[in-house]
Structure 1
Amino acid sequence: MSITDALIGAYALPFMGRALLVLLVLAVVAGVVGVLVNLRGLEFISDGLTHAVFPGLAIGLAVAGTAGLVPGAAIAALAGAVALTFLMRAGIASDAAVAVVLTATFSVGVLVVSRGTDYASALEELLFGRVLTIAPVDVLPLVLVSLAAATMVGVTLKQQLFRAFDPGASRAAGDRGLVLDLVLNSAIALVVVAGSSTVGALLVLALLIVPGAAARLVTRRLWWLFPAAAAVGAVSAWLGLSAGFAISVGAGVDLPAGSTVVGVFVLVYAIILAVRLAVDRAAAPRRAAQGTPPAAEGVARNAGEG
């Protein structure tokens, strides 16, 4: 199989075209939302939300089959987002709140799945995704869920950034912290819904965390973080699907598509990190000659770009 066949020709197949469309939209939106997750330090809360959707996925699958996955996950995710937001604002430590939601909801999901006749198959699909078996009727709901998350973040983006960097000043300016937290956590939850229905509940966190973390290695410009994260997500999703297809079809090695996509996300991050470290090391003598430490140089650059 040629590289062109893997990167382009494979998507003439209907199931590959559907997978690419959903993953590209999801990866771009997850990248944008993930920047705010990274800036706010909400990685563990995002992990809690990935587990909070599991009972919704399980109940939706039990009640309505695959058609019930997105509605069930959406209800569970939004309920989890609201619960986590109020638990944290009530003074409960965020780690404790996440642990309570994570363990309670995940156990409920496993109990629901265990009542089915095909326990192992259903559990594997919910945990590790079904990106190559997305039905045509599921494409639009998954895209709309992703776009809803993007809209929620886009409408409140300036306020979200203000709250991320200076919560006190944000409150003094009249921003309502509870509303902003609910909006952001709900957007994260919706991304988790779409991701859990494609790459699975255990792997969706990579789509949220990796692009934003990679973007912070690529640029120090605040507003460039969002397109950089979206680009990293989109390219990683495309390369991940292509690599999985090439290895499975061309080499005859059966690889789970969702795990392959996530593996490529991590690989892309590792490459960007290696390049960043190499660039910083090459620039170290110049900084030493100028007497400017790396951190100070970054601050000066940001000030000039503002």
Structure 2
Amino acid sequence: MIEIFQFAFMQRALLGGLVLGFLLAILGIFVVLKRMSFYSDGIAHASLAGVALGILSNTNPLFVAIIFSGILGAIISWLERKTKIASDAIIGMFFTSGMALGVILLALKQGYQPELVSFLFGNILALQWNELYIIIVATVIMVVFLAIKYKQVALMILNSDLAHVSGINVGVYTTLLYVIIAISVVLGIKLLGIVLVSALLIVPVSTAKLFAKSLKSLTVWSVVISELTIILGLLISVKLNMPTGATIVLSGICIFFLFFIVKHFDGFFPKKQSKN
């Protein structure tokens, strides 16, 4: 089984998967704690318009979708602060309009578009070097930013009122977080596709929450579970010749239920000691 990693396409797939798994696990913590699951799913579907623009203009669809979704994330954040419209309603409008625009733009392009299928359902085995470079560079920039501003972002997520009192510009940091999540979702599309990408933001963190006792342990375990999910799903998909994205998602779900079942056996995971 190890021999297959001698091939360049598997090396690109594994490296790209591990990088994206790390990034999405970190951001998944913010998504789950701030209850932004619908936002990530909405951005994923709306990014079809960015993919279509790239295909129509013969430009790298991933690069165009990143720019498109980043701008879209900033607009959604701005509208949430400047209007009385509910957040899910704003996201729902862009969710549907982005999909609609993507369908119309793709209708203008004649012939079969194999790239579109990989963006819809994910195909990391087809990841090219230029796309891998984009993923790595974007990930490094976002992770460095989050590492530097981790305390501010974490406080904003956990208690926005306290963050505001502490002098943190909640509006700016919220917008930056929306943009970062939007870009990360688009990067993850190469791995899982528009339809399934939200799973890697939600499932590893949800699994880690079953037994993590602090934000630090939640972060560490989310990354570990995410990387395990990527490796396991990738190996199974290649071995059994199954769709990679769907196999990765189901691997993550299986890991979740495994931990869920095991957790309910008393004494397996240490419990907090009560103070008398």
Give the structure 2 partner of residue 46 of structure 1: 40
Q: Which amino acid aligns with 1:227?
A: V
Considering only CA atoms, is the larger Rg found in Structure 1 or Structure 2? 1
Q: Which runs of 5+ in 1 are unaligned?
A: 249-254, 284-296
Deviation of residue 202 (structure 1)? 1.1
SS at match of 1:218: coil
Aligned residues: 272
SS at match of 1:202: helix
Q: Distance in 1 between matches of 2:104 and 2:140?
A: 32
SS at match of 1:64: coil
Asked whether the 8 Å contact 1:113–1:119 carries over to 2, the reply is no
Deviation of residue 135 (structure 1)? 1.5
Give the structure 2 partner of residue 225 of structure 1: 218
Matched, 1:78 2:70: yes
Structure with the higher helix share, 1 or 2: 1
Q: Distance in 2 between matches of 1:35 and 1:115?
A: 39
Q: Distance in 2 between matches of 1:215 and 1:150?
A: 20
Deviation of residue 58 (structure 1)? 1.4
Give the structure 2 partner of residue 293 of structure 1: none
Q: Which amino acid aligns with 1:78?
A: G
Q: Which amino acid aligns with 1:56?
A: G
Q: Distance in 1 between matches of 2:48 and 2:218?
A: 30
Q: Distance in 1 between matches of 2:7 and 2:28?
A: 30
Matched, 1:167 2:167: no
Q: Which amino acid aligns with 1:183?
A: L
Deviation of residue 84 (structure 1)? 1.1
Q: Distance in 2 between matches of 1:119 and 1:177?
A: 45
Asked whether the 8 Å contact 1:146–1:190 carries over to 2, the reply is no
Give the structure 2 partner of residue 290 of structure 1: none
Q: 1:143 aligns with which of 119, 131, 136?
A: 136
Q: Which amino acid aligns with 2:65?
A: A
Q: Distance in 2 between matches of 1:119 and 1:111?
A: 15
Identity fraction in percent: 26
Asked whether the 8 Å contact 2:74–2:176 carries over to 1, the reply is no
Question: For residues 40 and 46 of structure 1, do their structure 2 counterparts lie closer, same or farther at Cα, with a shift above 3 Å needed?
Answer: same
Normalization by structure 2: what TM-score?
A: 0.92
Deviation of residue 151 (structure 1)? 2.5
Q: Distance in 1 between matches of 2:26 and 2:76?
A: 21
Q: Distance in 1 between matches of 2:56 and 2:262?
A: 47
Q: 1:259 aligns with which of 243, 246, 254?
A: 246
Deviation of residue 13 (structure 1)? 1.4
Q: Which runs of 5+ in 2 are unaligned?
A: none
Q: Deviations over 1:134-156 (max 9, x none)?
A: 11222111211222232232222
Q: Distance in 1 between matches of 2:56 and 2:110?
A: 10
SS at match of 2:210: helix
Pairwise CA RMSD: 2.0
Give the structure 1 partner of residue 61 of structure 2: 69
Deviation of residue 245 (structure 1)? 0.7
Asked whether the 8 Å contact 2:234–2:248 carries over to 1, the reply is yes
Q: Which amino acid aligns with 1:267?
A: C
Q: Distance in 2 between matches of 1:139 and 1:44?
A: 27
Q: Which amino acid aligns with 1:261?
A: I
Asked whether the 8 Å contact 1:51–1:102 carries over to 2, the reply is yes
